[in-house]
Structure 1
């Protein structure tokens, strides 16, 4: 606590490889977004306000902390899990200084700004890439994106997230701290949707 809403330098749009999310989640907890037959490729993990070093979280805000079901449903194409949408709002969204509608609209606009590389858009077949190959595919598909403005997170040999740095106006930008902490694995699994 103690972070001030609206006090940040830029955004990180975190895109989850949804089949990895489902493969790595706690198997004791079933979730409709991971049921057999659900065919998401990349989904939004979150839109995170960032400082040049570090990030704000759980900011004080006059707005409600609970995301209404109707709003969670309206962004289910981005974040298929309503609980995750609520968590992203509480942890990160409140720190943007936007209200709930504004935060999720900005998230949608940020997602629309990114072109998913053709080689990575299919969740129906498993593949293996290096972290460098995934980054380069995104850079090639998105003019203005640079190697210093994208980073991956990995977990258990799987691609977990692609993290893309954007200005507050949703232009691609460099982000040395985010980039420096990115995964550099030479062999990342992108499992297929179940």
Structure 2
């Protein structure tokens, strides 16, 4: 069993928290292949290293695919956790009730943000977004947010980080020390 599977009961609720999911019963997050159990809830997320078989399983249940994401993993020791702010940017860290947030402003205009939820020896990062047209600035700001959020997680005892990203973001983060752990396939009832 891989680390993401062993830690599913910790990182799955953390992922729900950083997405501000109000009703945890509305979705179900399962590691594929699924060992028994029935699908309950409006949304099913299958976390898998075998997306073809997971899609076949979902099709057999007459579920419609609504999205795909990549589950990335990194050790805090393998990441640069010192934020290197581009010129004219400011970093704000905000501890909130269910997670901590980071926002980067360029000339006092918010241009990037992200969230982290720390669990037992691990943390989940998510909601990383950058709203600038320059691709180099996107990479730089993502690195700033990961450094800040990762440092926060490390400070609270997390040695492993998980990040749910889209495919393009996953490709940009690979050189920064992240590796693909699995895919997350999302489905709803038809």
| TM-score between the two structures when normalised by the length of structure 2 | 0.28
- Higher strand share goes to which structure? 2
| TM-score between the two structures when normalised by the length of structure 1 | 0.28
- Name the larger-Rg structure: 2
